Amino acid sequence: MVTGLRFFSGRHILALTAAVPCCLFAKHVWDIYARIRPVEKRRIAVVGGISNKFKESRTLKGLGNPRDHVIVGDAYLMDLSLPQNIAAEDATDEVLLAAFVRGYFAGKVFAIERNLLQIARVKLVSYSGLATTKTPVWESSELLPTSLPSTHSILFGAFQVSHIELQDSSDLGRVHEQGESSIDFVFGADDTRFAGAHRFSVARNQERTGDVRILYEHMACNPTTNQPVKPDFLFCFHNFYAMLLFREGLAEVMQVLERGPQRQRT
């Protein structure tokens, strides 16, 4: 009897201890798969670089890369068709961007990183040209379904809103001549060897007003020395991770379009 207990309390408990994390990880992987499955990867275009508009933006020229150092960057985009019967107020640029931000930062893919940041509760983003908000965002519930976080808001201590540009999209039958709406986030610090930015954008199709393009652009650089960001192998992981994040952001946008933000709030 004692021998049996020793056997159970030794090898079996050790195996059980190892199995529990494996099961939890497997469930997390399944949750991610179920969440991003509606977004077909074949419909996503991957661009090996960022747009000139983003390169020349205040976020990069004034904050992330003011010395015009060498950068690494990429972009992901996908076109979506708006439901024919959707109300204009349920598909404004801000509503679509807010949905993408929620899917990106409050979803399953970002969960592990988000939880670690929430536990640490430290401010990891620092730019001399940006004011610090008095009300940082630490909970996913603080990311609203129909409105964007305010400029200078810091999400989970690591991502700060540097710029928001919203076009008038209250009339879905008209496309604004000035182009796209966007929100920029910076990360890292301008006095270290690592800084970067994300831009999430919504652009209306001028020929087919019922279509929108969701664009995610990413840039990283060494702001203090004109050298490539190291190590290189991290960007292999980044490409995989960024695709998952983009797909979950899109999944949230598609979900909002299907049921309407007005119904989501009730």
pLDDT of residue 44: 98
Q: Tens digits of per-residue pLDDT, 132-158? A: 877 899 999 999 999 999 999 999 999
Q: Which pLDDT does position 231 carry in this prediction? A: 76
pLDDT computed for residue 208 by the predictor: 73
**CA–CA separation, 83 and 160 (whole Å):** 32
Cβ-count burial of 229 within 10 angstroms (0-12 exposed, 13-18 middle, 19+ buried)?
buried
3-state secondary structure of 17: helix
On the 0-12 / 13-18 / 19+ scale of CB atoms within 10 A, 116 is exposed
Question: Per-block average pLDDT, block size 10, for the chain (266 residues)?
Answer: 50 67 84 94 95 96 95 96 86 95 98 97 95 89 95 97 86 57 97 96 84 96 92 84 98 90 48
Name the packing angle between helices 234-259 and 93-105 (round to 10°).
130
Tell me the CA end-to-end span of the chain in Å, nearest whole number.
59
Task: Show me where the domains of the chain are located.
Answer: 1-37, 42-265
Q: Positive or negative CA dihedral for 225, 200, 115, 137?
A: positive
Show the CA angle centred on residue 224, arms to residues 196 and 241, nearest 5°.
25
DSSP state for residue 64 in the 8-state scheme: I
pTM over 0.85: yes
Angstrom distance (rounded) from CA 179 to CA 212:
11
Helix (H) or strand (E) holding 128: none
Closest CA to 223 of 250, 188, 180, 259: 188
Listed residue (120, 112, 129, 111) closest to 158, CA to CA: 120
What is the model's pLDDT at position 263?
52
Cis previous bond, 261, omega within 30:
no
Cα separation, 251 vs 71, whole angstroms: 29
Q: What letter would DSSP give residue 222?
A: -
- The pLDDT of residue 15 is 66
